[in-house]
Structures are given as structure tokens and as C-alpha cells.
A = this chain, B = another copy of it.
Amino acid sequence: MGAVNGKDFINRLNQLKPEIWYDGEKVEGLLSEHPAFKGIIQTKAALYDLQHDPKIKDEMTYTSPTSGNPVGLSFLQPKTKEDLIRRRKMFEHWAQHTGGIMGRSPDYLNTVLMSFASSVSLLKNKSNSFPNNLQAFYELARENDLSLAHTFVAPQVNRSQIYIENSEEPIAAKVIGKNEEGIIIKGARVLATQGGLTDELLVFSVGKFLFNEDEAFAFSIPSNTKGLKFICRDTFIGGQSAFDHPLSSRYEEMDSIVVFDNVLVPWNRVFYYNNDEVAEDFIIKSSFHPFAKHQVMVRQIVKLEFILGVAELLIETINVSEYQHIHEKMSEIIIGLETMRALLEKAENHASLDEWGYMRPDINTLMVAGNLFPKIYSRFTEIIQQIGASGMITLPTEKAFHSTIRTDLDRYLQGATKPAEERVKIFRLAWDLTMSSFGTRQTQYERYFFGDPIRLSSELYNAYPKSEYVKVISNFLKNHMN
């Protein structure tokens, strides 16, 4: 089969019929026609179509080593720097289609799974671990271009450092039993973006200081597995008009709470379970961070380009390019964009082979980018608000432009260099990017993409090789201060 197109993706998804709860109701009918999901599903379909776009399909796919079919390049396990650069170009194609705004585009999750498969040796000869299952699932996903969501965050009941869950019934998802067919999971995970809107749900454990053994597992199951429920948050789609809601109408990805109601995970889908050492090790030692962060960084750079374009277009529209404070604000964005680009290039240039022969971009450089982006992104959304000023508020609707009042709008809302409708479009885009409930969810999402910014800075400090610099100073003290 190989790389799917949009139509195949939608057809397969519509047949799944997972249990999704939206606004107090169980979702019935075709997912691709549900008002809360159709935008994102159509956008994803368009993304899958890129794999068959004659102009770029060679940059989007490669020949499967097993089937010989063209399969998605995001599944490619990179072994050379050239592979990394191929992967980067492919990421850019996906990202440019949505201005970097879709966080869980298929290449992200494919990359996650690929990174797991590239580190499968970590599971070898470990108790309750099944490396072959992981390898097999990776190949299954690659050959069938399965769409994936993932979930790894336990419910945020209590964030105190010393909290230990002490509840009769599980809150965080746990292994509560096993039998001949598989392991049985009960409890919940929160914040599965696109949860229920993909073929498969990839479940694994990450980031808790101390795992309980029964919370340490990894597996993948079809979204329609019995007992699996996706409870959607409120939608951030502002409306169906692409004029009024240019981003939310098509890029709102939805996040859901995942409930495991005695879900049976068949043995052939279990990667490991009840092994907290493996769970901790796997995330740290696998190529998950280098490969996932590589994709994320490419997408974020495309998003910064989008931000820069929107900001500059606002400036032209109301003719404020002469102001020195505008120069300062814009130079902040330019510095941010160029810095991210330079870090990406450096991470690739300094890539190195891991013990299993895969080419990992330089993790320290990626961590630097991962510390930086959450800060600059939210600042840049603020800059857009500051450039747009009151224009970010006075936003008439598409219907107003289709009514008799249009004459007034045309006259009184014209920009220095643009007619009123054009001017309103650019302001609505800027608003949907930074001020609508869709836009602010984006900001929050980028702020926490790889976790708590405070934890990220501790990780960077601890990981960074500082001793060589200390040695320089120690030598200075020895040579020059005696």
C-alpha cells in the first residue's frame, strides 16, 4: 500500500467509529463531516495529498526497504547527514502547508514512532519487554501510513512534589491485570491532541520522577478499541467561515482526555509493561528527543516565518514602518527566526551516529532551541498585538462584507495601502493567530510543548558540558593569578 493520499486517509478514518464524546454527546456519523472535526480532517487529507503531488512526491516519500512501495519519508531512519537534510525538507513541505500551525501533523508522530523503532535495542533482554512487537508495529504503520495520536501525560490532579496517588480506583492509567490475550488498562491520560481522530493511539510513559511500576508501559492500539473513550475539550473553532476564522476553521486539532475502561491491549501490541526502569531509560536514551525535536524545530521555524510575514503585512497595511519602536519589535522577530535557523543548521552539522548506526542531530543544540522557542513565541504573539493595536479589535464579519453595509466598511476601514476587505482579512488572520481562543491555545501549546519551561532549563544546565570551560578558568587562575 504505502503512502496514502487524502481520500484514503479519510475513508479509513470514517470506518473506524471510535468512541468520542463531544460537548456531552457521543459522536455519531462520519467523523469527516462533524463540524468540530471536519476542518482538521480535511487539512490532514490535504497534507497526505502532498505525498502524491508530482512536484514534491520524491521529497515526501522513499522506497520501503521491505515492500518496495513508496512510503512516507518521515518513517525514514536516518543514517547520514543527507538523510537528515532530506527529512528536514520533507518536514518543511508539511509545515509550510499550514504555516507551521498544525502541531501534530503526521510527520511528527511518524517521527516519534520511527525514533522508537530506531532504539528498539534498548528493549532487548529486558523483562516484560517486546522489541519485536515495536519493530513490527513500526513496519505496519509505515507500510500502511497509519495515522497516529499519542498520549503520555497523567491527569493533573495535584502537582505538589510529594504527591503520591492514593486512590482506590486508578486515576492515572495503570495495568490492572493481564491474561492470555494481553494486558488490561484502567484509568486515564490527559491531553491527547487529535485523540480519536487517528487510526491508532500510541501510549507510553514519560517524565514522572518516580514511576509506579504499573504506570510504566508502552503500546499502540486502534482508536476504536473496546473500552477506549476520547472525551473532547470544548472546541476552539470560532466558526465555519474561513474569512472570519481563517485558522481555527481548518487547523483546530482538538485535545481529548483518554479514558481506558478496562481496555485489553493484545500482547502483539505491547512494547513493554510493568517495567519502570525501561520506561525511564527508553525516553532518555532512545533517539526520541533528537528526532522529535528535529521535526518540531523545523515546524517552529516555518511558524516564525509565518509570524514575520503577518507582522510585516500589518505594518505595511497601516503604514507604520517608519517608527523606531516598530524596528525594535521587528528586529526581535528577525533575531528569533535567524537564531532558530542557525541552531537547526548547527544541530544538523554536528549530528553524530548513535550506537545503532542512526544519525542523531546534536541534542544539546536542540535543547537550546527547545528552551528558547517557548519564550520567543509568546513574545512574538504579543508584538503582533502591539503592532495591530486597536485594529485587532475592530473586526467585522464576512457577512458584513456581503451586506449593504459594505459601502461603509469599504470607506472607513480601508488601510493605507489596502482596500478594507483586504485590511480586515490581514487583521483577522493576525487575530486568529494570537488572540482568538484558537490562537491562545497555540501559544499555550508552544509554551509547554516539551514540558515545563523551568524543568527544561534545569535539564539543559545539567546536560551541558561545563567542565571544559571551568578548566579554562582554573588554568587562568593558575597561570595568571600567582
- Report A's interface with B, CB cutoff 8 A: 21, 23-25, 96, 99, 153, 155-161, 163, 169, 171, 187-188, 190-191, 229, 231-234, 238, 242-244, 246, 250, 255, 257, 259, 305-306, 308-310, 312-313, 316, 318-320, 322, 324-328, 330-331, 334-335, 338-339, 341-343, 345-346, 349, 364-365, 368, 371-372, 378, 382, 385-386, 389-403, 405, 408-409, 411-416, 422, 425-426, 428-429, 431, 434-437, 439-441, 443-445, 447-448, 452, 454, 456-458, 460-462, 464, 466, 469-474, 476-477, 480-482
Contact = CB atoms under 8 A, between A and B. Distances in A.
B458 A394 contact: no
A246 B341 contact: no
Contact of A470 (B250, B259, B312, B365): B312
A157 B415 contact: yes
A368 B400 contact: no
A234 B96 CA distance: 29
Given A24-B400, A257-B408, 17 more contacts: A23-B397, A25-B403, A156-B391, A158-B415, A160-B322, A229-B408, A246-B481, A257-B394, A309-B469, A334-B461, A335-B460, A342-B343, A385-B440, A385-B447, A389-B452, A425-B477, A431-B437
B242 A234 contact: no
A334 B462 contact: no
Contacts of A477: 422, 425-426, 429
A368 B310 CA distance: 20
Contact of A243 (B158, B394, B460, B481): B481
Q: SS class of chain A's interface: helix, strand, loop or mixed?
A: helix
A233 B434 CA distance: 18
Residue of A434, A460, A474 contacting most chain B CB atoms (<10 Å): A460
B346 A342 contact: yes
B231 A396 contact: yes
B481 A234 contact: no
Contact of A389 (B23, B156, B409, B431): B156
A444 B368 contact: no
Contacts of A306: 469, 472-473
Contacts of A312: 466, 469-470
A158 B429 contact: no
Contacts of A415: 157-158
Contacts of A238: 437
A461 B331 CA distance: 6
Contacts of A464: 334
B346 A481 contact: no
A117 B325 CA distance: 37
B338 A368 contact: yes
Residue of A171, A408, A471 contacting most chain B CB atoms (<10 Å): A408
Contacts of A411: 169, 171, 188
A188 B425 contact: no
A394 B255 contact: yes
Given A331-B461, A400-B21, A469 B308 contact: yes
23 contacts: A24-B397, A158-B415, A159-B318, A161-B322, A171-B412, A187-B412, A190-B412, A191-B390, A231-B400, A242-B480, A246-B481, A309-B471, A312-B466, A312-B469, A324-B457, A327-B458, A331-B457, A334-B368, A335-B371, A338-B346, A390-B448, A426-B473, A435-B441
A424 to B, nearest CB: 10
Nearest to A477: B425
B345 A365 contact: no
B461 A330 contact: yes
Given A24-B402, A25-B403, A342-B345, A324 B396 contact: no
A270 to B, nearest CB: 23
A92 to B, nearest CB: 12
Nearest to A332: B457
Nearest to A440: B435
A408 B158 contact: no
Nearest to A472: B309
A324 B481 contact: no
A408 B25 contact: no
A158 B318 contact: yes
Contacts of A473: 306, 309-310, 313, 426, 429
A217 to B, nearest CB: 18
B188 A305 contact: no
Contacts of A393: 191, 233, 255, 441, 444-445
